[in-house]
């Protein structure tokens, strides 16, 4: 008999709970062959087991029958509903690719199917014996319509008995389930040659039942006689679902399934039959974009990867395949773009689960925020691999009048007021950084830039303000509310503010700022020398009006002392400060007004 227990001792493996979810799991990449492999693989935290195939009995193409033992399964609505949910989860388990990893040991083991379930209305008593369990199987054959194994030879069925919540076996309250077998010599009343059966405990939840059941099904198929089949031992006896396998579980289509040992991966695995893989090691979830495993081709992988959350669960979508990890299962996430032009989205993060994105060799598009950076509850870092990697900081939610700050290593958004939220993304080694701000009015400050990175800022709707860094810069306004300053291109920015050094605001013919222009500190200039239209420009620094700035009503220009006109007939008027007014070509009118002016 193989028993799922807490304390390691010969043929007894006990646990106070169903297979627990691994805390602080880590995922890393592995060397992959061109073959179908499991979906989620958990690297052992301590010691890998030794796998032995003793050449004995295994079960193939196995029908699985469930016997619900206890009156409550049929006499109460909760019992009936629980039965249905367990039936559905068992069918999901066996119809998925969960057992596919067993084929590595002997072909055909991974083929089992849910046959049917029956209700045995007698009530079990805690401490029941293995013989009592066998009697219920015999009753299923005699009274409840289960098939006569002799009639379906050479197919060998597996019978699993599920008891009501709180019922324990004769092995004690720590035992959650077991599988075993008997032959015809066990009892004279038995009219079958061999019977393979087991017990599945119950704490009142479907997750508990399906995780224990998955454990017993795997071991029943691979080592049905509890000896001589396929075993996995660490310093003693054991089977594929024993040892650290009980520490790792993963949800497949709503059914929580326990892992089992995969020799070809050196990991505990929970397959679900798709062609992607995530590998768990001790601490960080790393999603490898090149791990598409059917017809594996690492030279042409243009992957789509998305990281998000549901409640306290981490979610991953990898090339259309969806993965969801239990709360607390993941402590950190690493994403690797590797080859190909990958599209990587970090939509939402958990507060205690930082995310690092590592760009690949072909230039990746990395989007952070998913349209609402409020969901970035955990730290995010983006490491570029070449100048083709571009970070998109996307925030297009409700208008809160946010404050954005760009530095040479981060993009940060702060929502002021009573609902103060700060969300930040760190970056390095990127070819481009794009900020798509929400509807304003927003304030966007460029404090510093990376010399090898190009920047694009989109202010979104509303009246937005771009504040330049504290360096002498030339702002080229080339379109309506758009232009470039140094390494930073901007669009839908209605107001410009310079830094503490001398700034030059140069307008092309099509250039226009619909809001205001504040030169900031320093000796600042308006420059129209790039104008090509035949009419001149008008600037009055006293009134704060200037061609191509604002609406012409009210003071739109402040903190500017110097003007360079166009090659046409301009009218330039200074203010009370010292001004430099340069008419350039054309029949110009220059007025210095107060101050020590140079005309």
Question: What secondary structure, in 3-state letters, does 546-558 show?
Answer: ECCECCCCCCCEE
> Which of 163-167, 293-297, 506-510 comes out lowest in average pLDDT?
293-297
Closest by CA to 326, choosing from 350, 290, 347, is: 350
pLDDT at residue 322 greater than cutoff 60: yes
Hey, what's the torsion of the CAs at 203, 208, 209, 211, to 10 degrees?
A: -160
Q: Are 91 and 185 members of one domain?
A: yes
Give the Cα separation of 256 and 276 in Å (integer).
Answer: 19
Q: H or E stretch including 466?
A: strand 465-467
| Residue-level pLDDT at 113 | 95
In a domain, 451, yes or no: yes
Q: Which of 181, 208, 240 is the C-terminal boundary of a domain? A: 240
In a domain, 42, yes or no: no
Question: Quick check: 336 and 351 in contact, CB under 8 A?
Answer: no
376: Cβ contacts below 8 Å, ≥ 6 apart: 346, 348, 349, 368, 369, 423, 424, 425
Summarised one tens digit per residue, pLDDT across range 121-156 is 999 999 999 999 999 998 998 899 998 777 788 889
CATH at 91 = 3.40.390
Under DSSP, the state recorded for 223 is -
Closest by CA to 372, choosing from 403, 401, 344, 393, is: 393
Measured over the CA atoms of residue 307, residue 309, residue 312 and residue 316, the dihedral's sign is negative
* SS3 at position 570: coil
| CA angle (424, 436, 525) in 5-degree steps | 100
Kindly state the average pLDDT of the residues 562-578: 94
| CA angle (73, 75, 78) in 5-degree steps | 60
| CA angle (83, 85, 89) in 5-degree steps | 115
3-state SS, 116-143, equals EEEEECCCCCCCECHHHHHHHHHHHHHC
Give the model's confidence band at 1: pLDDT under 50 very low, under 70 low, under 90 confident, else very high: very low
Question: Quick check: 23 and 352 in contact, CB under 8 A?
Answer: no
| Residue-level pLDDT at 205 | 95
| Residue-level pLDDT at 178 | 94
Q: How many independent structural domains does the chain possess?
A: 3
> Which of 22-26, 201-205, 468-472, 555-559 comes out lowest in average pLDDT?
22-26
Measured over the CA atoms of residue 564, residue 569, residue 573 and residue 579, the dihedral's sign is positive
In a domain, 45, yes or no: no
Q: Are 178 and 100 members of one domain?
A: yes
Q: Are 70 and 174 members of one domain?
A: yes
Question: Quick check: 519 and 560 in contact, CB under 8 A?
Answer: yes
Give the model's confidence band at 298: pLDDT under 50 very low, under 70 low, under 90 confident, else very high: very low
| Residue-level pLDDT at 26 | 31
In a domain, 37, yes or no: no
Kindly state the average pLDDT of the residues 239-256: 87
Q: H or E stretch including 89?
A: helix 77-95
- For 151, half-sphere exposure in the C-beta direction (CA atoms, 13 angstrom radius) is 5
More confident residue, 5 or 114: 114
- In the block, which residue shows the tokens 């000796």? 523
- For 254, half-sphere exposure in the C-beta direction (CA atoms, 13 angstrom radius) is 11
Domain range for 554:
474-599
pLDDT at residue 515 greater than cutoff 90: yes
Percent of the chain with pLDDT over 70: 86
| Residue-level pLDDT at 577 | 92
Cis peptide bond upstream of 224, omega within 30 = no
Under DSSP, the state recorded for 191 is -
Q: Are 458 and 331 members of one domain?
A: yes
**pTM of this structure:** 0.76
Q: Are 221 and 297 members of one domain?
A: no
More confident residue, 8 or 551: 551
Question: Quick check: 318 and 305 in contact, CB under 8 A?
Answer: yes
| Residue-level pLDDT at 141 | 85
Under DSSP, the state recorded for 51 is E
pLDDT at residue 35 greater than cutoff 90: no
Q: Are 200 and 296 members of one domain?
A: no
| Residue-level pLDDT at 295 | 33
Q: Which of 188, 221, 240 is the C-terminal boundary of a domain? A: 240
pLDDT at residue 61 greater than cutoff 50: yes
In a domain, 101, yes or no: yes
Alpha-carbon distances, residue 481 vs 240, 247, 489, 493 (angstroms): 65, 57, 11, 5
Q: Are 458 and 478 members of one domain?
A: no
| Residue-level pLDDT at 27 | 27
Q: Are 395 and 493 members of one domain?
A: no
Q: Are 501 and 595 members of one domain?
A: yes
Q: Which of 408, 437, 462 is the C-terminal boundary of a domain? A: 462
More confident residue, 200 or 588: 200
| Residue-level pLDDT at 553 | 73
- For residue 483, list its beta bridge partners: 477, 490
Q: Are 234 and 328 members of one domain?
A: no
| Residue-level pLDDT at 112 | 94
* SS3 at position 576: coil
Q: Are 410 and 478 members of one domain?
A: no
**Full DSSP string of 336-394:** E--SS--EEEE--B-TT--EEEE--SS--EEEEEEE-GGGB-S-EEEE-SSTT-EEEEE
Mean pLDDT estimate for the chain: 84
Question: Quick check: 538 and 506 in contact, CB under 8 A?
Answer: no
| Residue-level pLDDT at 187 | 53
In a domain, 86, yes or no: yes
Give the Cα separation of 34 and 545 in Å (integer).
Answer: 69
Q: Are 430 and 502 members of one domain?
A: no
In a domain, 121, yes or no: yes
Pairing of strands 390-395, 365-371: parallel
74: tokens are 């049929």
Give the Cα separation of 386 and 389 in Å (integer).
Answer: 6
- Tell me the Ramachandran region of residue 568: left when phi exceeds 0, alpha when psi lies from -120 to 50, beta otherwise: beta
In a domain, 277, yes or no: no
| Residue-level pLDDT at 247 | 82
| Residue-level pLDDT at 409 | 95
- For 113, half-sphere exposure in the C-beta direction (CA atoms, 13 angstrom radius) is 4
Name the strands in the sheet holding 267-270, side by side, starting at the edge strand that comes first in the sequence. Answer: 26-27, 278-281, 40-42, 267-270, 260-262
Closest by CA to 492, choosing from 456, 447, 454, 520, is: 456
């Amino acid at each position: 008999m193989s028993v799922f227990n807490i304390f390691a001792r010969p043929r007894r493996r006990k646990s106070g709970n169903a297979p627990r979810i691994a805390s602080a799991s880590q995922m890393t990449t592995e060397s992959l062959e061109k073959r179908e492999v499991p979906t989620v693989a958990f690297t052992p935290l301590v010691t890998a087991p030794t796998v032995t195939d003793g050449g004995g009995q295994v079960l193939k193409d196995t029908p699985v029958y469930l016997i619900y033992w206890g009156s409550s399964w049929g006499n109460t609505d909760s019992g009936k509903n629980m039965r249905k949910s367990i039936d559905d989860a068992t069918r999901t388990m066996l119809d998925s690719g969960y057992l596919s990893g067993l084929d590595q040991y002997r072909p055909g083991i991974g083929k089992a199917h849910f046959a049917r379930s029956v209700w045995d209305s007698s009530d079990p008593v805690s401490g029941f014996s293995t013989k009592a369990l066998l009697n219920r199987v015999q009753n299923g054959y005699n009274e409840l319509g289960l098939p006569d194994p002799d009639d379906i030879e050479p197919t060998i069925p597996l019978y699993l008995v599920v008891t009501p919540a709180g019922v324990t076996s004769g092995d004690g309250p720590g035992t959650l389930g077991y599988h075993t077998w008997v032959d015809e010599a066990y009892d004279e009343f038995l009219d079958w040659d061999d019977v393979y059966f087991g017990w599945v405990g119950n704490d009142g939840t479907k997750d508990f039942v399906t995780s224990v059941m998955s454990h017993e099904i795997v071991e029943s198929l691979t080592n049905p006689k509890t000896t001589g089949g396929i075993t996995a031992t660490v310093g003693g006896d054991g089977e594929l679902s024993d040892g650290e396998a009980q520490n790792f579980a993963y949800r497949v289509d709503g059914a929580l399934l326990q892992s089992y040992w995969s020799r070809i991966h050196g990991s505990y695995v929970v397959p679900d039959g798709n062609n992607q893989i995530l590998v768990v090691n001790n601490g960080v979830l790393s999603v490898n974009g090149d791990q598409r495993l059917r017809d594996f081709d690492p030279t042409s992988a243009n992957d789509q990867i998305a990281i998000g959350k549901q409640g306290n669960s981490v979610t991953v979508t990898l090339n259309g395949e969806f993965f969801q990890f239990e709360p607390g299962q993941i402590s950190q996430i690493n994403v690797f773009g590797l080859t190909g032009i990958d599209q990587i989205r970090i939509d939402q993060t958990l507060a205690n689960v930082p995310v690092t994105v590592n760009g690949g060799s072909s230039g990746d598009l990395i989007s952070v925020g998913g349209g609402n950076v409020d969901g970035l509850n955990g730290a995010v870092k983006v490491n570029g691999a070449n100048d083709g990697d571009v970070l998109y900081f996307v925030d297009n939610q409700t208008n809160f009048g946010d404050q954005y700050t760009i530095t040479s290593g981060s993009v940060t958004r702060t929502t002021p007021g009573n609902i103060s939220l700060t969300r930040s993304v760190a970056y390095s080694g990127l070819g481009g950084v794009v900020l798509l701000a929400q509807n304003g009015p927003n304030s966007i400050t460029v404090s510093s830039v990376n010399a090898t990175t190009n920047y694009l800022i989109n202010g979104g709707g509303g009246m937005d303000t771009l504040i330049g860094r504290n360096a002498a810069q030339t702002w080229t306004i080339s379109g309506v509310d758009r232009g470039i300053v140094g390494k930073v291109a901007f669009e839908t920015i209605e107001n410009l503010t310079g830094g503490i050094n001398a700034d030059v605001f140069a307008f092309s013919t099509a250039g226009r700022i619909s809001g205001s222009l504040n030169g900031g500190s320093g000796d600042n200039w308006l420059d129209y020398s790039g104008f090509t239209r035949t009419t001149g420009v008008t600037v009055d620094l006293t009134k704060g009006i200037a061609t191509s700035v604002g609406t012409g009503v009210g003071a739109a220009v402040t903190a500017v002392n110097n003007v360079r006109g166009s090659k046409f007939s301009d009218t330039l008027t200074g203010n009370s400060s010292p001004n430099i007014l340069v008419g350039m070509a054309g029949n110009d009118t220059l007025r210095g007004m107060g101050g020590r002016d140079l005309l």
